[in-house]
Structure 1
Amino acid sequence: MAETSRAAAGAQTLARGLRALELVTTARDGLTVQDVAEQLDVHRSIASRLLSTLADFRLVVRGGDGRYRAGVGLAALADGIHATLRAAAEPVMRDLAAELGATISLLVTEGADAVALLVMEPPGASYVLSFRTGSRHPLGRGSAGVALLAAGAPAPGDAADVVQARERGYAATFGEVEPGAYGVAVPIAVPGLPAACLNLITYRAEVAEKAPGSLTAASAHLAERLA
């Protein structure tokens, strides 16, 4: 009986710690101990111990203003998560690029930027619009940047295009990253994984117009592979 109680208490502590980590890393400007205590509905001393333990492993760091933010220890975890994302996404993206005849990319949030983890060009195409893996642009700019912001929880001051993308499930832009190019992006919703999206870029308006349905289906398929 005592062992069962200790196991249950340990599971609860782990769950709280993971939830605290999620809260801190998704907050735009970090969180205080009191913020975490209130969101977890625990005493301030418990929140403080959880954050101190996370800080010991460099998963969070306490700034001079007393707010906790993501720590450098998350980088190693992110590398593993990104490898998992790329492996799961590659076949889905290959099929999608062939179906739509356009370049498909997988992008994630990194700081204030959207970063391309994987880029897939359509097979046999004589001319495609593409970019390199590792390319980045600011969040909120281009379809991928808007979709990544829309993947987060609503916040005061969200731009109109972010609100619209959140409501309809995809972001569509024109000429924001590449002059004359259409972009369409759909978030990939997998609890516990960082914000990611599938993005299409093309000069062809008719391809962009029919892309949301295919991108949404591919994103749902990928989410199932990752769940």
Structure 2
Amino acid sequence: MSDSRPAPGAQTLARGLRALELVAVARDGATIQEIAAELDVHRSIASRILSTLADARLVARSADGRYRPGAGLAALATGVHGTLRSIAEPFMRELAGEFGATISLLVTEGEEAVALAVIEPPASGYVLSFRAGARHPLGRGAAGVALLAAAPPAPGEAEKVTTSRARGYAATFGEVEPGAYGVAVPLSLAEGMPTACLNLITYRPEVADSAAPRLMAAAERISAALS
């Protein structure tokens, strides 16, 4: 008869990773007791797990006793972002050439959509352009809407977010750049990856009208490559 229980080391690792995730998503930090309750362990075990994570600078204990993401987590995020960017960019170049439009990869950072990578079309005339690192509020522009639509439904969310989630893409006009059309598709990434989307921006309505199926197909291929 086989024993299907996880080895002690694997169980400890799983708890540590889960605790790190709980701290990372907590808007106002997390207490030892909250982590213990979520992990269904004694407070002393949760305290040891958090202390180990703090030693690795993955979490930090604030003066109010709550644990928040630590500086070491930024280094991990940088590595994850680099992987996401390197996988997505070949698909983005293909789309930029096909549509003659700027294609960007955006991720959620707090309450903002942040451009992780931007690809302009080759040998094209006037195109819309912006730099990696550019940001705007979530819920604004196709990318901001698509990033919200990537999450489960939330009470009181905007109708355009609900609609975008149902159809698989967001489309807006003039919300970030006056006179510009935006089309964005969220990526379906594994747990631990940032919420991300592919975004097309153009002044040509015929391009915006035809872009969604190709963007959705590219998003599926990127998500598969990262799974």
Whether TM-score is above 0.5 comes out as: yes
1:100 CA displacement: 2.2
* Secondary structure, counterpart of 1:84 in structure 2: helix
Alignment match, 2:224: 224
Give the counterpart letter for 2:9 in structure 1. Answer: G
In 2, distance between residues paired with 1:36 and 1:79?
26
RMSD of aligned C-alpha atoms?
2.4
1:26 CA displacement: 2.4
Number of aligned positions between the proteins? 224
1:6 CA displacement: 11
1:178 CA displacement: 0.5
1:56 CA displacement: 2.1
Taking structure 2 as the reference length, the TM-score comes to 0.87
Alignment match, 2:122: 123
* Secondary structure, counterpart of 1:161 in structure 2: helix
Map of 1:154-173 to 2, 5 A cutoff? 154-173=153-172
The 3 A distance-change label for structure 1 pair 69 and 92 is same
1:108 CA displacement: 1.4
- Give unmatched runs, 5+ long, in structure 2: none
Structure 1 residue 69 corresponds to structure 2 residue 80: no
1:34 CA displacement: 3.3
1:11 CA displacement: 0.8
Alignment match, 1:90: 89
In 2, distance between residues paired with 1:133 and 1:34?
40
* Secondary structure, counterpart of 1:69 in structure 2: strand
The 3 A distance-change label for structure 1 pair 216 and 133 is same
The 3 A distance-change label for structure 1 pair 158 and 96 is same
Alignment match, 1:212: 212
My pick for the range that moved more, 11-20 or 23-32, is 23-32
Map of 1:102-181 to 2, 5 A cutoff? 102-181=101-180
Give the counterpart letter for 1:72 in structure 2. Answer: A
Alignment match, 1:198: 198
The 3 A distance-change label for structure 1 pair 206 and 43 is farther
Query: Could you give the per-residue CA deviations for residues 52-93 of structure 1, whole angstroms, max 9, x where no partner exists?
Result: 222222212233444332222111111211211121111111
1:157 CA displacement: 4.2
Give the counterpart letter for 1:216 in structure 2. Answer: M
In 1, distance between residues paired with 2:163 and 2:148?
11
In 1, distance between residues paired with 2:149 and 2:200?
17
In 2, distance between residues paired with 1:123 and 1:221?
22
The 3 A distance-change label for structure 1 pair 186 and 53 is same
* Secondary structure, counterpart of 1:45 in structure 2: helix
